[in-house]
Amino acid sequence: MADRGEPILRVRNLVKHFPLTRGILFKSQIGAVQAVDDVSFDLYEGETLGIVGESGCGKSTVAKLLMNLEQPTSGEIFYKGEDISKLSGRALKAVRRNIQMVFQDPYTSLNPRMTVGDIIGEPFAIHPDAAPKGSRDKRVRELLDLVGLNPEYINRYPHQFSGGQRQRIGIARGLALNPEIIVCDEPVSALDVSVQAQVINLMERLQNELNLAYVFIAHDLSIVRHISDRVGVMYLGKLAEVGTDAQIYDHPTHPYTQALLSAVPQPDPEGRDTRERIILAGDVPSPANPPSGCRFRTRCWKAQDICAEEVPLLAVPERYKDSDTGAKHESACHFAEDKDIVHA
């Protein structure tokens, strides 16, 4: 892909461990849930980075760390060159104007006691310089119009809306401060499929109109493929593979990505018999006690001794360094191998 200049968000070696403690008065740490372990990625202006992975792999924790709702155990998050993970007070408040979030569940992300006008207008109440007092009402109506809701709805309460409409309200709230980055934590997974498509289309339209960068977290591979420019696959707190959507979907090199893709439902009955289904053995190990070396090795059919000893780094595999196929992208596997799953 062409050079897109400096990334607006650079995440480096992000780690979040939740301590497990014992005792009431004299607490002693007996371990840690390694929710996010050494995650690094870049986000460029106006692009969508999809992050996929199964439940409990640390996707939502990454979102909370990006939003500074949780403090990372170590690692840095650079927004335009400034490390925002250690900011607090006024400086943090200023950065928050540029990074906003859309939440997963539209039924709990809107305060049931506030009108839509108050909910979308709250960013202006918190950041009074974002909109002069007299123009706030007008701005809220504009935002409602922008996300495809009737501006007359300004005095309604959230319970008077459907799930899709509520998610539009959540998006309008996220847009109010004109952010550059929006972190979307499974924004459509609580919605019906038909409504999912409407919301995704809205998000794509807004991205084009407002030049937004999305970090799009989801577990639905087809939606991620539809909206993302680049995709990162997470497993047990680590990124397994990162590449453009074509690279990941057509040339997956990490065994976990291949297993995930083989589970995507095949609409054409003709192709079902010929396609290989990779069925993984066992369950995801506990993040409190992850396997040594490669975290995927306990369920991997390629695992050898080296996988237990050495943590595979997220890098372009040696054998594909000079390749000009889609297999030339970062993959954290000792035995990375291009294998077309979707079209096979």
Partner 1 sequence: MSDATSAPPPMEAEEENAAKGLTAGTSSPDKDAPRGLWSDAWHDLRRNPIFVVSALLIVFLVVIALWPSLIATRDPQRCDLARSLQGPSAGHWFGFDTQGCDVYTRTVYGARASIAVGLCATVGVALVGAVVGGLAGFFGGFWDTLLSRLTDVFFGIPVVLGAIVFLSMISLSGIWPVVLVIAALSWPQVARIARGAVMTAKQHDYVQAARALGAGNARLLLRHIMPNAVAPVIVMATIMLGTFIALEATLSYLGVGLRPPTVSWGVDISAASDGMQFRNAPHILLYPAAALSLTVLAFIMLGDAVRDAIDPKLR
3-state helix, strand, coil in the chain (%, to 5): 35, 20, 45
CB of 91 to partner 1, least distance (A): 11
Distances (CA, A) of 243 to 83, 180, 311: 24, 22, 20
CB of 68 to partner 1, least distance (A): 8
CB of 1 to partner 1, least distance (A): 30
CB of 126 to partner 1, least distance (A): 5
Q: Which residues contact 118 (CB under 8 A, 6 or more apart)?
A: none
CB of 183 to partner 1, least distance (A): 9
Q: Are strands 48-52 and 213-218 parallel, antiparallel or unpaired?
A: parallel
CB of 187 to partner 1, least distance (A): 12
Q: Please classify residue 89 by burial: count the beta carbons closer than 10 Å to its beta carbon, then call 0-12 exposed, 13-18 middle and 19+ buried.
A: exposed
**Residue 205, phi then psi, degrees to nearest 5:** -65, -45
Q: Which amino acid is at 337?
A: E
Q: Return the number of the residue (110 or 146) whose C-beta is nearest partner 1.
A: 110
> What are the beta bridge partners of residue 241?
233, 331
| Chain positions contacting partner 1, by CB under 8 A | 64, 67-69, 92-93, 96-97, 100-101, 103-105, 108-114, 122-123, 125-127, 150, 152-153, 155-157, 159-160, 170, 173, 177
Q: Return the number of the residue (104 or 196) whose C-beta is nearest partner 1.
A: 104
Q: Return the number of the residue (181 or 223) whose C-beta is nearest partner 1.
A: 181
Q: Return the number of the residue (169 or 231) whose C-beta is nearest partner 1.
A: 169
CB of 177 to partner 1, least distance (A): 8
> What's the rounded Cα separation, in Å, for the pair 103 and 63?
10
CB of 84 to partner 1, least distance (A): 13
Q: Return the number of the residue (96 or 225) whose C-beta is nearest partner 1.
A: 96
Which letter does DSSP use for residue 141 in this model?
Answer: H
Q: Return the number of the residue (166 or 328) whose C-beta is nearest partner 1.
A: 166
Q: Return the number of the residue (111 or 135) whose C-beta is nearest partner 1.
A: 111
HSE of 37, CA atoms in CB hemisphere, 13 A: 24
HSE of 203, CA atoms in CB hemisphere, 13 A: 33
Place of tokens 């995440």: 11
* Alpha helices, H only, the chain: 59-66, 89-96, 116-126, 136-146, 163-175, 193-210, 221-227, 245-250, 255-262, 269-272, 305-309
Helix axes 136-146, 116-126, angle to 10 degrees: 120
Q: Return the number of the residue (87 or 342) whose C-beta is nearest partner 1.
A: 87
